Structure 1
Amino acid sequence: MSDKKEGDSLSAAATKGSYVFPNGDRYEGDYSRSATGVILRSGTGKHISANGILYTGEWHEDKMHGRGTLQHPSGALYEGEFKDNMYHGTGIYTFPDGSTYKGHFYENRLEGEGAFTDTKGLVWTGEFHGKAALGLKMQLNI
C-alpha cells in the first residue's frame, strides 16, 4: 500500500482507512500490518484504479481473495470468487457485449462445468477449458 494516507491515523488499533497510491489508485477499507509493519489490504474494501477499474470485496495479504466484484471501464464485469488476484472458484463473467459465462474459473480461465449465454439469449452448457469448449449443448426453452 502507499505511504500516503487520508483519514484515520496509522495507529496499531486502526483497521479502516483510505489510501491514495502514487499512480492515482485509491483504496478504502480494512487493512492490517505485516510483521515488518507494512500496511496490507486485508478484510473488505474498495479499490479504484486510476484507469477506472473498480474492485469491491474481500482482501487477504494485499490481494483480491474471497468474494468480490471487479468492474472494467469496457463494461466487462466479474462477480464471484478470487484467489491471489485471479478469478478462481465459481463466478459470473459478463462480457462487454452482454453475453455471460456462469461457472467455474481456474487462475483467470474458464475451467470446468459452466453455462455461456450469448447475446441472443441462447444458453450453452458443458465443459470449458480456457478458450476451448468442446461438446457444448444448447439448452432448449420449451
Structure 2
Amino acid sequence: MSESKMDINDASTEGGVEEKAPVTWEGELRDGWIPVGVGLATYPNGDTYQGNYENGKKNGHGTYTFMKGAVYKGQYSNDERTGHGLMKYPDKSNYSGAWFRGKRHGQGVYIYPNGDQYQGEWVNDLRHGHGTYYFTESMSSYIGTWESGHFMMGQWVWRDGNTYEGTFYKEQPIGRGRYKFRSTNNEYIGNFERTEVPKSLDSKAPVDVKLEFTDAFLRTVAIDE
C-alpha cells in the first residue's frame, strides 16, 4: 500500500493580509476623499482591488490582486473576504468556497499543487468537520471527520476498494477499527497501527504504508451487511 505524503497544515496562506487604505482610487469619491461604488484601488505595497466600495471599505463583489501573485475573486463585507470566493495562490493551488473575515470558513474545495483535493468543511483556514481528501498519486481517499486540520475518524479507501474504518491520530489509524477486503468480503476487526506516517498531503513522492493488526480476528462478512 502506498500514498502521497501528508502534512496536516498544508493549505496555502500565501494570499497574505490585504491592505485597507488605497493610495489611489479610480472611481467616485464621497466628501472628496471616501471611495464609493465600483472602481480601482491601488495600495502602498502595489496590491490592487477592482470592485465595489461602501463607506470607504470593500463591500460586495471584487477582485484583489496581490503583488506576490495570489488573486482573490469573490464577496467582501466590511473590508474582509466574507461570502463565496475563489483564491488562486502563487504555488498554483486554489480554494473555492466559503470565507468569513478573511479566512476559509464553511464549505469549500481546495486543490493542491500536485492535484490532490480536499472537499468539505473549514474553520479558520483549517480542515474541520466532515470532508474528503483525495490523493491523486495513489487514488486513495480519507473520508470522515477532521479536527483542526487533522483526520480523526472515518474511512481510508484505497484504489482497489479495500477500506479501513476507525479512529485516527494525526492521520494514523489507532485503536479499534476494521480493515475490509473488497475481493474476498473478509475483514479484520481489532486494534490497528500504522508503521509509517505520511508527512505531506502535498507531495508526489509515495511512501510504503503498513497496517499492523493487534488482537485482531478475521471474519467473513455477509453480503447484506
1:63 & 1:41 partners in 2: Cα distance? 7
Q: Structure 1 residue 41: deviation in Å? A: 0.5
Distance across 2 between alignment mates of 1:136 and 1:116? 11
Corresponding residue number in structure 2 for 1:36? none
Equivalent residue, structure 1, for 2:133: 93
Q: List aligned pairs for 1:45-56, cutoff 5 A.
A: 45-56=85-96
> Rg: which structure is higher?
2
CA, structure 1 residues 90+121, in 2 after alignment: closer, same or farther (shift >3 Å)?
Answer: same
TM alignment of 1:15-26, pairs within 5 A: 15-26=60-71
Name the residue aligned to 2:144. Answer: 103
Are the equivalent residues in 1 in contact too, given 2:52–2:60 (CA < 8 A)?
no
Identify if the C-alpha distance between structure 1 residues 27 and 15 changes in structure 2 by more than 3 Å, giving closer, same or farther: same
What TM-score, normalized to structure 2?
Answer: 0.56
Q: How many equivalent residue pairs? A: 135
1:11 and 2:51 matched: no
CA RMSD of aligned residues (A): 1.7
Unaligned ranges ≥5, structure 2: 1-17, 20-42, 186-222
CA distance in 1, matches of 2:59, 2:76: 8
Q: How far is 1:11 from its partner?
A: 3.2
Distance, in Å, in 2 between the alignment partners of 1:125 and 1:85 is 26
Q: Which has the higher contact order (CA 8 A, sep 6+)?
A: 2
SS of residue paired to 1:22: coil
Deviations 1:102-121 (A, max 9, x none): 0000111111x300011322
Residues 1:132 and 2:176 are matched in the alignment: no
Partner of 1:59: 99
Structure-1-length-normalised TM-score: 0.87
Q: Which whole-Å deviations, capped at 9, do the CAs of 1:54-73 have from their partners, x for residues lacking one?
A: 10000001000000000012
Residue 10 (structure 1) shift: 2.4
In structure 2, C-alpha distance between the alignment counterparts of 1:96 and 1:133, rounded to whole Å: 21
1:36-47 alignment, distance < 5 Å? 39-47=79-87
Q: Quote how far apart the aligned CAs of 1:14 are.
A: 4.3
Of the three residues 114, 119, 125, the one matched with 1:74 is 114
What is the distance in 2 between the residues matched to 1:9 and 1:16? Answer: 6
Unmatched segments (≥5 aa) in structure 1: 34-38
